[in-house]
Structure 1
Amino acid sequence: MAGIERDTPIPSEIKLHQKSRRLELSYDNGESYMLDFEYLRVFTPSAEARGHGPGQETLQTGKRNVDIERIEPVGSYAVRLVFSDGHDSGLYSWDLLHNLGKHHDELWQEYLNQIDAQGLSRDIDTSSRQSGGSCGHHH
């Protein structure tokens, strides 16, 4: 099957925790991951966010309070996550989800570093930028 390596772990259960805004992935081998909606949203595999080549990615910002409204299965290899900001074009394959779970800390740190480096904010959606706002010096 395209898009799946033989050893890609397929989650035995996927649960949406709306209150804590987390997606829970459980695997038969006992692994489980809790992924924030925000994390899943900023790492969307959709073409519009990823661009069509390296360096064309659009950094997704201001997604701290995004919700996932529902999960739709796509064949037997992926799920589509429908987000409250209207974003629904990302197809999350099993290997991507497992990767996001396994490398959560590095990936999230890299995202925070990028946001810092570009002077952006997790609370302000720069794709619809408004003037003013806080300067973000919270300690």
Structure 2
Amino acid sequence: MNPVAIGNSQEHQRLRLNWPDGREQLLGHAELRRQCPCSQCRAFRLRGSTPMVDARVRVVAVNGQGYGVQLVFSDGHERGIYPWEYLAQMAASA
């Protein structure tokens, strides 16, 4: 299921997803960076490590990829593509 709208607030450091069922989910930029699904970040978490992410990190670009979005962060990280299902699961567990 794809969101019907996406918003990115630099000021509040939140990504907003509006889902077809009317739910609105807010995901913090720092948490999105910590949960990056790229292979490098995933391997780091599988080793039991928690990525150190500066609380001031921001999402500076949101690039649609059809099945999800690529998020570009202010720390230069841009490898992760976040599938819609992954974001929905993150939002549900927040």
Tell me, which stretches of 5 or more residues in structure 1 are unaligned? Answer: 1-8, 105-139
Question: What is the identity, as a one-letter code, of the residue corresponding to 2:52?
Answer: T
Give identity over the alignment, percent. 28
Q: CA deviation at 1:69?
A: 0.6
Instruction: Find the residue that maps to 1:101 and give its secondary structure.
Output: helix
Instruction: Find the residue that maps to 1:72 and give its secondary structure.
Output: strand
Q: How many aligned residue pairs are there?
A: 94
Match of 2:26 in 1: 34
Instruction: Find the residue that maps to 1:66 and give its secondary structure.
Output: coil
* In 2, Cα distance between equivalents of 1:50 and 1:58: 10
Larger Rg: 1
Any idea what the Cα deviations from partners look like across 1:67-87, whole Å, max 9, x if unmatched?
A: 11100111x101000000010
Match of 2:10 in 1: 18
Tell me, which stretches of 5 or more residues in structure 2 are unaligned? Answer: none
Deviates more, 1:56-65 or 1:77-86: 56-65
TM-score (norm 2): 0.92
Q: 1:18–1:68: 8 Å Cα contact kept in structure 2? A: yes
Picking from 64, 69, 74, the partner of 1:73 is 64
Question: What is the identity, as a one-letter code, of the residue corresponding to 2:80?
Answer: G
